[in-house]
Structure 1
Amino acid sequence: MAKLAWGTGREAAQPDCIKALIVEFICTFLFVFVGVGSAMAADKLSGAALAGLFFVGMAHALVVAVMISAGFSISGGHLNPAVTLGLAVGGHITIFRSILYWIDQCAASAAACVLLKYLTGGLATPVHTLASGIDALQGVLMEVILTFSLLFTVYATIVDPKKGSLEGLGPLLTGLVVGANIFAGGAFSAASMNPARSFGPALISGDWTDHWVYWVGPLIGGGLAGLIYENFFIIRSHHPVPTADENF
């Protein structure tokens, strides 16, 4: 029978214990937030609306996982200004290249929506807006938390050199957290997590209702996650030097 390791009170002051407690809090918080949030969304929605949310969540989960994998070795497969900002604050991409990425991502979103409008015979392009009963502050906070979850996953499964057995699974796991976040937040804030994803439909439809929420919330959440993970949880012999050729 294995002996119990009782430990001592001194553990509470050890850096590795403090980091472990912080990460355990963050991960449990995000787990409960998404788990309970998805249950609340299911209660709020019914029938076709709930099925539609599931369809959208799964589509996003799959395409995010695949497109990150497709672009990873060349651009890093960011797909998202919030991801780019989160990586920039960690020194994984230069500020200049980040700005170019933002322009590129928004232009690509607009182009995709223009083509979709044409190919679907002029169907309306659905825009991200806050649900009835959700105010701007609630929407921003929802987007902050969901995008923090996304970037925390990116750092833990792709960026962190200690990812170990998760090597190569980062794109899939990132896609899965995007899908889970849509299940939890889609019925409330639309769960954008991505300013470019919101920009294209708003531009093509000419409907900018609540659009600023989908820039402020994701950029705060992404930047905060990058700042915290890079500076508190990644152990390096030296910090990454941002260069024109660096992605993740």
Structure 2
Amino acid sequence: MDNLTRNVVAEAVGTFMLVFVTVTVVAVGPGIIPAALAYGLGTAALIAALGHVSGGHFNPAITLAMLLSKRIDTLAAVAYWIAQLAGAAAGALVVMLSSERDVVRAGTPVIADDLVSVGGAIAVEAAATMILVLVYLGTVVDQYAPASVYPLASGLTIAGGFFAIAPLTGGAINPARGFGPSVVSGEWDGLAAWLAGPLVGAVIAWALYQFVVAPNRAESGAGRRTRSSRPLPPPPGSSLLP
């Protein structure tokens, strides 16, 4: 199996498991706190398990930020997106087959029209995803930062973001998290929030890192010893750029 295929399989499997767990817990769990913990800790565990293979994106918004950062080429990015969306749909389908369609519908992110407008829903999803992507860029991409903290940092960020915005949008923070259950349940009311919000947030995070954080890090880091290795590198020879 070549490196790109291995990366894509890891992304599909990781996103499958993430959506399966989160849809189930959100739909039938005892409340928002257990759901936030399941989403966050599940993400952290999957990144720890598979991050060394593919980088542990499991989220099209993170892949977009890596593409903009030129850390992944276009072919690999498209392959990642397909794998993530397919894995998400498969995860939601397994939930339906093991229970019923209404369970998947209950676990699908939707906009709470009585609490927030569509624009507001997009904004809060963008804000939560922006923080998540900044965490990724600041721990995995930044050569002075400890990439080993990324799984836990990402998990805590997702748990906190979900807890903050779930009452408004369902707390997707990930287009795949919205796409999978929407395809299976036919519930598309949250489309604007879970698609546009995270992608906008990823672009903003990339811009902040690229034009604000990275130049300052380069100046302040002059003469400092950088880390010699990264726990989550793309495998040598893959279509991921070095």
Structure 2-normalised TM-score? Answer: 0.74
Counterpart in 2 of 1:20?
none
Partner residue, 1:24 = none
Structure 2: which 5+ runs fail to align?
A: 1-27, 223-236
User: Is 1:144 the counterpart of 2:126 in the alignment?
Assistant: yes
Separation in 2, partners of 1:225, 1:247:
20
CA contact (8 A) 1:93 1:244 kept: no
Q: Where does residue 224 of structure 1 map in the other structure? A: 204
Displacement of 1:244: 4.8
Deviations 1:55-78 (CA, angstroms, capped at 9, x unpaired)? 110001111111112221211110
Pairing partner for 2:57 from 78, 87, 94: 78
Correspondence 1:169 to 2:169: no
1:88 is aligned, of 51, 67, 70, to 67
Does residue 1:97 correspond to 2:67, yes or no? no
| Root-mean-square deviation (Å) | 2.2
Offset of residue 123 of structure 1? 4.8
The structure-2 alpha-carbon separation of the partners of 1:91 and 1:157, relative to structure 1 and needing over 3 Å to count, comes to: same
Change (3 A) 1:247 1:55: farther
Matches within 5 A, 1:25-174: 52-120=31-99, 123-125=102-104, 126-131=107-112, 132-163=114-145, 166-174=146-154
Instruction: Give the counterpart of 1:196 among 170, 176, 189.
Output: 176
SS of residue paired to 1:154: helix
Whichever residue aligns with residue 212 of structure 1, its letter is A
Distance 2:57 2:194 in 1: 17
Distance between the aligned counterparts of 1:80 and 1:174, measured in 2?
Answer: 12
Counterpart contact for 2:88–2:176, Cα < 8 Å: yes
Q: Is the 8 A contact 2:42 2:155 kept in 1?
A: yes
- TM score, norm. by length of structure 1: 0.72
Quick check: which one's helix share is greater?
2
Distance 2:116 2:29 in 1: 18
Question: Cα offset for 1:198?
Answer: 0.4
Partner-residue secondary structure (3-state), 1:169:
helix
**SS where residue 208 of structure 1 aligns?**
coil
- Distance in 1 (alpha carbons) for counterparts of 2:162 and 2:193: 16
Secondary structure of the 1:186 match is: helix
1:94–1:244 CA contact under 8 A, matched in 2? no
Kindly tell me: are residues 180 and 233 of structure 1, through their superposed partners in 2, closer, same or farther at Cα, counting changes over 3 Å? same
Matched residues, number: 193
**Separation (CA, whole Å) in 1 of partners of 2:130 and 2:169:** 15
Q: Distance in 1 between matches of 2:157 and 2:130?
A: 11
Show the counterpart of 1:180: 160
2:213 corresponds, among 226, 233, 236, to: 233
Amino acid of the structure 1 residue aligned with 2:153? L
Alpha carbons 2:36, 2:163 under 8 Å: kept: yes
Moved over 6 A (4+): none
Deviation of 1:91 (Å): 0.9
Taking the aligned partners of 2:38 and 2:29, their CA distance within structure 1 comes to 14
Matched AA of 2:88:
S
Instruction: Give 1:145 deviation, angstroms.
Output: 0.5
Which has the higher Rg, Structure 1 or Structure 2? Answer: 1
